[in-house]
Amino acid sequence: MAKRLLTKAEGALLEQQLIAMARELAPVTVRGLYYQAVISAALPFITKDHDGERSSYRAVQGRVQALRLEGAIEWDWVIDPSRTDYSFERWEGPADFAAIAPLYYRLDLWANQLTRPLVLVEKEGQVPVYRGHADRFGVDVWACKGYSSTTHLRELAKSIRPHLEGGQTVQVIVCADFDPSGCDWPRAAEQEIRRHLALSSCDTCLSFSRELVTLDDLHRLGPAVALRAANPKDTRTRAWLDRHGFDANAEAAVEMDAISPNTARERLERIYLDLFDGDIEHDRAQGREHQERIHSALAALR
């Protein structure tokens, strides 16, 4: 049955809540805002869509677009990473480049650490949600795009190899949907990455840990946001249902977007800090000092 239209008062309340959510959770996707609206106790009239019905999502999507055009939601609060451009940055001369060149400098905060974290997300659209926060801690974020190509995973392996050869352990933090493919592609990705690295003599140097979305997240959020699993005739779905004891008709799949970005970033931050031996704030300050030195060195060009 189609959902009823929102009243004027409900629409106004939804817009008020969306502005507050976008400000608090930025950067966040439109789908992320939809899930937060579904979960919100202040918006009982926004419930999850079922069986391909998208009225709640469209209600959120339409209002987010209008609020951005009005200026009530800042453009950079809500991200749309589904569009890619291949333009290049250009400058009018060395003086213009000198003003921003220090921002390209990154001190390797993990150079002397025993273990180096790397965040691997399922969807490319999730990268901007985590990249800015991860950059504060010197952590790289890669998107696997589900079952990634061997070329892409080879490039990821090449980025890991120098750290392993330098004696570090690399911990890959997996962030994926809790659904049949989201619970299976990390296995395939790990197998392919290890193949490119030829890690038979050092299997323990590379570890994979799933941190988002977990079974605990499903139990916590499932009643409000869980979706139906994929076609049970698919072998991955059948194996997933059997492994977890789910009924084929149960709503037991949770997308990454359903996790509050702040909750997810805080969870990842705890992992970074647990792995880091020393004062990461001191090292970050040192990195900023290096940027200032670069800025001073290039001042003559300006």
Q: Quick: pLDDT tens for 47-62.
A: 999 877 899 999 999 9
Position 203 pLDDT exceeds 80: no
Where do the domains of the chain lie?
A: 8-79, 110-275
260-283 mean pLDDT: 97
**pLDDT tens for residues 24-77?**
999 999 999 999 999 999 999 999 998 778 999 999 999 999 999 999 999 999
Q: Are 20 and 28 in contact (CB under 8 A)?
A: no
pLDDT grade, residue 89 (50/70/90)? confident
Listed residue (97, 88, 63, 96) closest to 78, CA to CA = 63
For tokens 């009823």, what's the residue? Answer: 4
Cα-only R_g, the chain: 22
**pLDDT tens for residues 224-270?**
999 988 888 888 999 999 999 999 888 999 999 999 999 999 999 99
Torsion of CA 234, 238, 241, 243, to 10 degrees: -130
Q: What is the pTM of this model?
A: 0.91
Amino acid at 213: V
**pLDDT tens for residues 101-153?**
888 999 999 999 999 999 999 988 899 999 999 999 999 999 987 788 899 99
Categorise residue 115: left if φ over 0, alpha if ψ from -120 to 50, beta otherwise.
beta
Residues 6 or more apart in contact with residue 285 via CB below 8 angstroms? none
Position 91 pLDDT exceeds 60: yes
Q: Are 111 and 154 in contact (CB under 8 A)?
A: no
As a whole number, the mean pLDDT across the chain is 92
- Better-scored residue on pLDDT, 51 or 88: 88
- Better-scored residue on pLDDT, 183 or 99: 183
pLDDT grade, residue 96 (50/70/90)? confident
Q: 22 is written with which tokens?
A: 């976008």
- Enclosing H/E stretch for 195: helix 185-197
pLDDT grade, residue 156 (50/70/90)? very high
In DSSP terms, 254 is beta-bridged to: 178
pLDDT grade, residue 99 (50/70/90)? confident
d(CA 22, CA 293): 36
Q: 183 is written with which tokens?
A: 């619970």
d(CA 257, CA 36): 9
78-97 mean pLDDT: 79
Select 110-275's CATH number: 2.40.50, 3.40.50, 3.90.25, 2.60.40: 3.40.50
**What pLDDT score does 81 carry?**
65
Q: What is the DSSP letter of 162?
A: H
